[in-house]
């Protein structure tokens, strides 16, 4: 929809994109880089392929600001489903175990969420981009390797849930850098003596940047190419 800055190519710009479902963050960067003939470009925070929402790209000299955006507070909305698990904690992999859900009440759900709010320790998912021994964990996971993952300290400042459509639970989470939403989903299931997987995820905010101000990728490319006098 809008661009944050109107600067020269050398100065660079901050581009807000709405990452489509199934695209990797690198897919989005590569699309803008090739289509808009941009030499220097990077993104400020990975989104999983099965997540959608706000992705910040920086070009030119603005790439020096990437770290500040990566460290900013983030907001997500999504859905989890209780009673089943997958190895990846989302729909990238097939269901592996089913669990009972009849014992779960609104009150026990709220208590589980409360335990996962504040400064907590969490273990990243095995299917994640965390590096171990110079290799992404998801590559080890896809080969069936067993790895020992170390916990990390993160802050979940807000965790709201709506279980109107139980066992599906809608959520909104505000959290610090490095928080894995899939880990929170997994841990909700465990605290409820059941299981859970994430069925939807959308990042709606990074710091002071909002998804409502983001560009659809194809629309941004078309506009940028027109500005540059490139053929569509």
State the catalytic residues.
48
d(CA 175, CA 14): 22
Residue 42 near residue 66, CB atoms below 8 Å: yes
b/e string for 26-47 if b means 16 or more Cβ within 10 A?
Answer: eebbebbbebbebeebebbbeb
Look up tokens 């709405």; give the residue.
Answer: 18
SS3 sequence, 15-66? EEEEECCCCCHHHHHHHHHHHCCCCCEEECCCCCCCCEEEEEEEEHHHHHHH
């Amino acid at each position: 929809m809008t661009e944050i800055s109107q600067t020269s190519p050398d100065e660079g710009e901050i581009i807000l994109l709405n990452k489509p479902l199934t695209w990797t963050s690198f897919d989005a960067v590569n699309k803008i880089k090739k289509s808009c003939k941009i030499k220097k470009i990077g993104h400020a925070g990975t989104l999983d392929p099965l997540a959608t929402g706000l992705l910040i790209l920086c070009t030119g000299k603005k790439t020096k600001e990437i770290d500040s955006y990566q460290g900013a507070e983030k907001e997500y909305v999504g859905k989890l489903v209780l009673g089943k698990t997958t190895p990846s904690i989302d729909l990238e992999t097939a269901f592996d175990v089913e669990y009972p859900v009849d014992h779960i009440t609104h009150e026990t759900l709220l208590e589980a969420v409360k335990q996962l709010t504040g400064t907590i320790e969490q273990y990243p998912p095995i299917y994640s981009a965390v590096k171990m021994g110079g290799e992404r964990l998801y590559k080890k996971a896809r080969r069936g390797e067993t790895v020992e993952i170390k916990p990390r300290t993160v802050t979940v400042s807000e965790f709201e849930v709506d279980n109107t459509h139980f066992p599906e639970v809608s959520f909104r989470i505000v959290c610090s850098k490095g928080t894995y939403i899939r880990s929170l989903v997994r841990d909700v299931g465990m605290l409820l003596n059941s299981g859970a997987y994430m069925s939807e995820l959308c990042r709606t905010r990074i710091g002071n940047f909002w998804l409502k101000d983001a560009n659809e990728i194809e629309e941004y490319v078309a506009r940028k190419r027109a500005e540059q006098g490139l053929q569509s």
